[in-house]
Structure 1
Amino acid sequence: MDTESTHSGYSYHSSRSGRSNRHGDRSCERHKASSSKDSSRSERSVVINPPDTPSQDSPVHNGEPLPGEPTPAAEQGDEAQDDNWGETTTAVTGTSELSVSQEEVVGLGKGIQDRTQSFRRYLPLAVGSCVGLLVLATPLVFLLLPAVMWPDRLQVCGAACEGLFLSISFKLLILLVAVWALFLRPSRACLPRVCVYRAFLITLTLLLTMSYWLFYGVRILDAQDEDYHGIVQFAVSLVDSQLFVHYLAVVLLELRQLQPCYSVCVIRSTDGETRHYNIGQLSIQRAALSILEYYYRDFPLHNPALLSASKHRAAKHLAGLKVYNVDAPGNAAGAQPSNGNQSRAMVTAAGKRKDSAHNELYYEEADYERRVRKRRARLVVAVEEAFTHVRRMKKEDERATPSDIMDVREAALAIFPSMARALQKYLRTTRRQHCHSMESIQKHLAFCLVNNMSPKAFLEAYLVPGPTLQYGPERWMADQWTLVSEASVTSGIKQGTEFLLKCLDFSLAITIKTIPYIRLTEEYIDPKSHKFLLLLQSETSV
């Protein structure tokens, strides 16, 4: 089979080189082409069986192929000659029970990644809950242990202990609410590193609690102190210390970042959309989180369709530059020019076309603006007519019976077809048709009808591109951001800090600058210096 395919290729080459023998060898080529087609067809339908089971397509006799059947070496050679075997070959192999396919490996990795993200998301909440329970339970245990272990030996403290009990109760209640408000909130994002201040506060709380436990075990439990008033005051001092630690947490986690210290410049890489924000003293990862929150609120939705116009214009410009080689081999003009001559020819042609490129851009933008204004006018007229029809229907419903009154959802579905075509053409012209689905448009239309809004209020969501949060969560890509920074993400931002927030389709380049120190001086102006005297002559006509 190898010899036949090689011979047919040689005869085909010789038939092209020698044009005089083309008609004589045509029948031979047809025969060889059919034989090579049959051989390739047989090669592309190879079935690989398990080693212990015989093939059903090729019968064997005592483990050996029958006469006329190709040998395994010949089958391997034929498979090597076929370049597209991977697209058409069906392989049935014997697999072990412990083998895992590639799809299962990918699914296993994705499941592990999802579990890891969930673990990292709820780990701070679990740690905060455990520390909060330890903080709240420790003063109560300090009060209960002596009363349980040696109740007969305790000295009665009377009204003084009752006042301290009341103080501890209210302080623990305040501390419980404060811990819930500051530490037990659900996390807004999953950061790559642990917050330094939060870890410091948790460590400080644990050290403080363990120190009190150590002193309590040595001085009170071992000695079996009988002064219950002193034990109650010891528990009160622990609660006071915990309240001060919580105050420190409020200062470090909430108040420290409120004063603006830095100016942040955020630039989107694809369209150059730029915003500036003022932030306080934050770490790089906390600053990135704040910037992403500002991004979803202030930046318009990223629309890759608007970027295709410049790419199409550049491709069109390059497609118009063609260099024809008139001195190719076989022509009588001469030898083929060098690559340097071709490059100079292309540069010269590009320089000639550069003078007319701005005219093409001007007329393209003018035509685009004209089409947008035309589509917008049609859309505005269609929406106004639809809302006018709805108002007329409302007046008719006031005189109709309750059974004939139409629901707001039904009214939105009834008037939507009258404006759907104009809205669809406008969204296609502005390349924002993928941002709005039919269901979202109908829902927005029903919302406007329920609240008795004007047509302009309905059109504002489609005429002006809104922020990212205005659209569906599938447009946000909220869980696909990557922080790229040369410095450690737990270090604080400073003058000249630069980092990158990468997404699936674009990235945000962030540059940090310090807000300059402002010095104001006062200058006193005497009120009498503003007074002047105006003398008018009697001859002057005023």
Structure 2
Amino acid sequence: MSVVSERSTRRSSQKQHSRSRGIQKRYGSETEHQMMIPQFSAAASEGVCHMDMDDTWGDNTTVITATSDFSQHVGNALPYFEPTTKVTGRRCSRWLWLISAFVLSLISIASAPLMMVTPFLLPYMSIEWPEVECPPDCQGYVLTMCVKVVLLVVALWAVYWRSAAADMPRIFLPRVALAFFVLFILFAFWLFFIVRIVLERQVAYSYIVSYSTSLLDVLLYVHYISVIVLVLRSLRPEFTISVLRDPDGELRSFPLGMMSLQEAAVQVLRLYNVHFSSFNRALESHRSRAKSGASNVSTGFKMYDIDGTGAGTLSEENARAVLEAAARRKTGGHNERLYEEQEWESRIRKRQFRLLGSTEDAFYNVQSIFPMKSNGQAAITEPADIVNAAKSVYALIQRPLMKYLRAARRQNLHSQEQILEHIQNCLAHNISPRTFLNRFTSDRMPLQPSIQESKWSIVCDRQASSSISHGLTFILRSHNQDNDSCVQLVCTVSALPFFNITEQSSSKRNFAVKGNGDLMC
């Protein structure tokens, strides 16, 4: 025979066990050996042992049984994902690519002018070259070439002369392909120039200028193609991506164009920093600890194997009973969580309105001392007056403000110096109390110091250089030490459908005249 007993906490079971030990010590060892049999059964209770028991024998008797303690606990602490070790090869490859791109751009800009001045440099290299003559049409080509060089420099500066948005794990194939294509064009033009013009001594300078202008035309066309492939192609929406933040479950959707997986990851992280509310790690940790504490109270079960036939194992029937009891407890625990959430929200709103009242009183007191000017500007102009007024306002709102920040788990985000500086700015520009409190009550965190680098990783079964497609799911995992240290972004890509739009005339414009034959003349 097996008996299932629920227990609320491990501490209560330990108290009962210690109490039973005390009662057990109170009795003699003879009673313990004769009656308190570890494997208690009906067969063992029958036999030679005959004892006189009164009606109250069960009130002070302890039965030692073979006890198996089964408890389950799932930790709800927010995880921290350790970043991968720094790879020196990736840093070196990044610097190598930057240096290569700079050298390639410099060669592209300087190739055409260098071809044009080659006839003037050859005599200094002990190579005979006839005197250069440039008629008016040749001078027009030279002017055109100078303008195209300036246009190429401006185009490269406008599109490519900027800091990289991210360090991608894979090679960016379109950019590398365009770089090799430009390198091939430069090699082909220089080879043709050396073989057909320099070695064959083409003395017509207009040929050299027109040839240099042709090189600039080709480079400008390649630049246009690169803008289309690298920039414009990703601007047209082709997909929608749903971004779900773990662990709080906030969901947003954004449009995406044709791009690779790693480009989509960079775009998602940009949109995440702009459109998502700031993740409050302290509040989420508090909720997880509260949930973990509640689960510890109601998830313990203690098994009593009275017959001693279980051998420390849990039978199928007992396991089913334990699971059913756990399910009943879980279904009844949602009311407690609901009441806790409602109580927390009510406490937050009360403290928020109490803070609003204190702030309005503090601002009113300052405005009564420094009345506002007729043009709507604040009368506080001296820096010393602004600092003293800010300190007086802070002294009046410090207590309700700290209570609200502690309840909202945001006290570590606002230092005293930042609060005083914010009060000074609000008083100097005559900002209302509600606008002043928006910094503390908004779901966006205040301005933090500049972050040099944000570390994330892509978790997907496809290569990061492959293009995104319908049904693709990948995870962006944060490795930062700030508020996003335990954040994961679950991204799901879905393609936009083809919209088949037809035209139908409105029924309001069409009408029919129905006439009766008797009324017609």
SS of the aligned residue for 2:259 comes to coil
Contact 2:240–2:495 under 8 Å retained in 1: yes
How has the CA–CA distance of structure 1 residues 500 and 374 changed in structure 2, closer, same or farther, with 3 Å as cutoff? same
In the alignment, which residue of structure 2 is the partner of 1:511? 492
Deviation at 1:349, TM superposition (A): 4.0
Deviation at 1:439, TM superposition (A): 2.8
**Identity %, equivalent residues:** 30
Q: For 2:511 and 2:362, locate their aligned partners in 1 and report how far apart those are by CA, in whole Å.
A: 63
Query: Where do 1:100-499 residues align within 5 Å?
Result: 113=86, 119-149=92-122, 153-154=130-131, 156-307=133-284, 308-324=286-302, 335=308, 339-340=314-315, 343=319, 346-347=322-323, 349-354=325-330, 356-395=332-371, 406-466=384-444, 470-473=446-449, 478-499=453-474
Give the counterpart letter for 1:260 in structure 2: P
SS of the aligned residue for 1:256 comes to helix
How has the CA–CA distance of structure 1 residues 249 and 364 changed in structure 2, closer, same or farther, with 3 Å as cutoff? same
Q: For 1:273 and 1:403, locate their aligned partners in 2 and report how far apart those are by CA, in whole Å.
A: 44
Give the counterpart letter for 2:465 in structure 1: T
Q: RMSD of the TM alignment (CA)?
A: 3.2
How has the CA–CA distance of structure 1 residues 321 and 276 changed in structure 2, closer, same or farther, with 3 Å as cutoff? closer
How has the CA–CA distance of structure 1 residues 442 and 350 changed in structure 2, closer, same or farther, with 3 Å as cutoff? same
Higher relative contact order (CA 8 A, sep 6+): 2
Q: For 2:381 and 2:275, locate their aligned partners in 1 and report how far apart those are by CA, in whole Å.
A: 46
Give the counterpart letter for 1:516 in structure 2: P
Deviation at 1:325, TM superposition (A): 5.8
Identify unmatched segments of 5+ residues in structure 2.
1-27, 30-83, 480-485, 515-521
2:475 to 500, 508, 520: 500
TM-score by length of 1: 0.69
Which of 215-224 and 517-526 deviates more?
A: 517-526
Deviations 1:471-503 (CA, angstroms, capped at 9, x unpaired): 4258x7952201122111111111111211111
Deviations 1:264-311 (CA, angstroms, capped at 9, x unpaired): 011112111111000100110000000000011111222233334255
Contact 2:380–2:386 under 8 Å retained in 1: no
Q: For 1:275 and 1:233, locate their aligned partners in 2 and report how far apart those are by CA, in whole Å.
A: 55
How has the CA–CA distance of structure 1 residues 403 and 164 changed in structure 2, closer, same or farther, with 3 Å as cutoff? closer
Contact 1:435–1:471 under 8 Å retained in 2: no
How has the CA–CA distance of structure 1 residues 355 and 157 changed in structure 2, closer, same or farther, with 3 Å as cutoff? closer
Q: For 2:328 and 2:351, locate their aligned partners in 1 and report how far apart those are by CA, in whole Å.
A: 36
SS of the aligned residue for 1:192 comes to coil
SS of the aligned residue for 1:529 comes to coil
Q: For 1:354 and 1:532, locate their aligned partners in 2 and report how far apart those are by CA, in whole Å.
A: 70
1:523 to 492, 504, 508: 504
Q: For 2:472 and 2:143, locate their aligned partners in 1 and report how far apart those are by CA, in whole Å.
A: 52
How has the CA–CA distance of structure 1 residues 323 and 261 changed in structure 2, closer, same or farther, with 3 Å as cutoff? closer
Contact 1:262–1:279 under 8 Å retained in 2: yes
In the alignment, which residue of structure 2 is the partner of 1:66? none
Give the counterpart letter for 1:518 in structure 2: F
SS of the aligned residue for 2:510 comes to helix
Q: For 1:302 and 1:402, locate their aligned partners in 2 and report how far apart those are by CA, in whole Å.
A: 37
Contact 1:321–1:346 under 8 Å retained in 2: no
Give the counterpart letter for 1:196 in structure 2: L
Which of 194-203 and 428-437 deviates more?
A: 428-437
Deviations 1:160-198 (CA, angstroms, capped at 9, x unpaired): 111111111111011101111112211121111221111
Deviations 1:350-399 (CA, angstroms, capped at 9, x unpaired): 3553454233223212221221121111111111122222322323999x
Contact 1:128–1:184 under 8 Å retained in 2: no
Q: For 1:358 and 1:239, locate their aligned partners in 2 and report how far apart those are by CA, in whole Å.
A: 71
Give the counterpart letter for 1:353 in structure 2: R
Q: For 1:180 and 1:423, locate their aligned partners in 2 and report how far apart those are by CA, in whole Å.
A: 49
Q: For 2:109 and 2:329, locate their aligned partners in 1 and report how far apart those are by CA, in whole Å.
A: 78
Which protein has the bigger helix share? 1
Identify unmatched segments of 5+ residues in structure 1.
1-18, 21-108, 329-333, 534-542
- State the aligned residue count: 415
SS of the aligned residue for 2:471 comes to coil
Which of 368-377 and 434-443 deviates more?
A: 434-443
Deviations 1:31-85 (CA, angstroms, capped at 9, x unpaired): xxxxxxxxxxxxxxxxxxxxxxxxxxxxxxxxxxxxxxxxxxxxxxxxxxxxxxx
Contact 2:380–2:428 under 8 Å retained in 1: no
Q: For 1:499 and 1:298, locate their aligned partners in 2 and report how far apart those are by CA, in whole Å.
A: 20
Q: For 1:386 and 1:479, locate their aligned partners in 2 and report how far apart those are by CA, in whole Å.
A: 40
Deviation at 1:248, TM superposition (A): 0.8
Deviation at 1:236, TM superposition (A): 0.8
Query: Where do 1:8-27 residues align within 5 Å?
Result: none
TM-score by length of 2: 0.72
Deviations 1:214-252 (CA, angstroms, capped at 9, x unpaired): 000001111121111111111111111111111111111
Contact 1:121–1:187 under 8 Å retained in 2: no
How has the CA–CA distance of structure 1 residues 412 and 339 changed in structure 2, closer, same or farther, with 3 Å as cutoff? same
Contact 1:325–1:336 under 8 Å retained in 2: no
Q: For 1:192 and 1:261, locate their aligned partners in 2 and report how far apart those are by CA, in whole Å.
A: 24
Q: For 1:521 and 1:131, locate their aligned partners in 2 and report how far apart those are by CA, in whole Å.
A: 51
Deviation at 1:322, TM superposition (A): 4.5
How has the CA–CA distance of structure 1 residues 458 and 527 changed in structure 2, closer, same or farther, with 3 Å as cutoff? same
SS of the aligned residue for 2:384 comes to coil
How has the CA–CA distance of structure 1 residues 419 and 213 changed in structure 2, closer, same or farther, with 3 Å as cutoff? same
How has the CA–CA distance of structure 1 residues 235 and 370 changed in structure 2, closer, same or farther, with 3 Å as cutoff? same
Contact 1:321–1:349 under 8 Å retained in 2: no
Q: For 1:115 and 1:381, locate their aligned partners in 2 and report how far apart those are by CA, in whole Å.
A: 56
Q: For 2:477 and 2:421, locate their aligned partners in 1 and report how far apart those are by CA, in whole Å.
A: 33
